[in-house]
Structure 1
């Protein structure tokens, strides 16, 4: 595990419309000790040709093409198995990092001896237009606070693998990132927020978060079947989740 190397995990499925801007945002980082691991989850569009154009010119970009589409969780897990960095960060193919994102977050973690951090981010539409909506990072999250709603944007997360005692594995549940964060925080751990807008999340009409009813049912399933919470606790946290969601 290379000292202070940051491994950026990027799953791609038919991302030809956005992948160039995603990669360019990594190329523009002021922090240069990086590797970007792009796992192509069986794309049938022009994603492969676009990505290979960049891998020819940038040796730190590693491209893995899967034979068949098996979902974003599997693609992230494949990337994690091939990551060699001390730190791991996550960037989906339709999202964008600001140029100082990695540098500021690595410094934030090292200076404070944190192992799990996240930042604020803003929302953009499918065409990259700013939606004038910022999701602000709270000072910290623990297991109980996170049960009230997932306020940790996957694209903002950075984890120090030298300081974590478990393997980072995403489940096949549609809220796979939320489940992983809960798993990490369950043992009295905290994730710390850097209240600085350092990335853009693209909110598409067909995104998972766009379907509120499905998202609510998945969240309830997490409470009852994954976290095994009693019924009354599940109801309590679900009400908090609903309030939190409406405020977003």
Structure 2
């Protein structure tokens, strides 16, 4: 068994996939397995993955297009690593990402950790200020804004178990982190920039006004909050999202 399992959903990702693959193969820490689930891509993503003959890369081809949460869950089912981490097929890790994260988790006795990441354009050039890992994350403060990004986080599955994603929600990552933080007191920040997040103009996560309802349902349906409480946290999330991405504040 590998010490760390990397979970990746892939859907029509051929434009950036080689960069992502290179960033994993270049890791200084080499005891990993990378489980990529292709979600019925219509481009040549599967062909690109298959070009890399590395026994640590495990390709799953989904029988149907089920979305990123479903693809991640298929990968999670196969994962055997003590540590679980995530990397989308268009994002990028610095060569020392795994080494630094695992060392930090061991030294801090952490069940969950996250690092600073750069927010870049499609060419991986800085676009707005880095998103800083600057506070300990708890269930309570994660309700108001999702500070945990999949590409910059890691958890210990031996201690907390595997946490799967709800399928059908466009905010599946936020729900997953909230459910995980119900089990543990906090996630710890590693104040080093170890990853690069591509900010696409058409990214679903950037269209805040289009997913207000989905965010409301995070609280109403998945956390079982009252309507008033759900509206309160949705308003907080919207304000913090504006602060997080607006160039006025970055």
Q: Shorter chain as normaliser: what TM range? A: over 0.9
Which residue of structure 1 aligns with residue 237 of structure 2? 241
Within 5 A, what are the aligned runs for 1:3-22? Answer: 5-22=3-20
Is the counterpart of residue 31 in structure 1 residue 35 in structure 2?
Answer: no
Which residue of structure 2 aligns with residue 73 of structure 1? 69
- Which of the numbers 175, 178, 194 marks the counterpart of 2:190? 194
Within 5 A, what are the aligned runs for 1:96-175? Answer: 96-164=92-160, 166-172=161-167, 173-175=169-171
**2 CA distance for matches of 1:188 and 1:202?**
30
Q: What is the CA deviation profile of residues 56-113 of structure 1, one whole-angstrom value per residue up to 9, with x for unaligned ones?
A: 2x21111111232111111101111111111111000000001111100000101111
SS in structure 2 of the partner of residue 163 of structure 1: helix
Please tell me whether the aligned partners of residues 139 and 194 of structure 1 are also in contact (alpha carbons under 8 angstroms): no
**1 CA distance for matches of 2:21 and 2:227?**
44
Which residue of structure 1 aligns with residue 219 of structure 2? 223
How far has the Cα of 1:239 moved from its partner? 2.9
Please tell me whether the aligned partners of residues 139 and 195 of structure 1 are also in contact (alpha carbons under 8 angstroms): no
Q: What is the CA deviation profile of residues 144-174 of structure 1, one whole-angstrom value per residue up to 9, with x for unaligned ones?
A: 100011111111111111111x442111211
**2 CA distance for matches of 1:242 and 1:50?**
38
How far has the Cα of 1:28 moved from its partner? 0.7
SS in structure 1 of the partner of residue 146 of structure 2: coil
**2 CA distance for matches of 1:161 and 1:103?**
17
Q: What is the CA deviation profile of residues 197-218 of structure 1, one whole-angstrom value per residue up to 9, with x for unaligned ones?
A: 1101111122111211122221
Which residue of structure 1 aligns with residue 43 of structure 2? 45
Unmatched runs of 5 consecutive residues or more in structure 2: 245-250
Which residue of structure 2 aligns with residue 209 of structure 1? 205
**1 CA distance for matches of 2:123 and 2:183?**
41
**2 CA distance for matches of 1:167 and 1:49?**
29
The farther-off stretch of 233-242 and 146-155 is: 233-242
Q: TM-score, normalised by structure 2?
A: 0.92
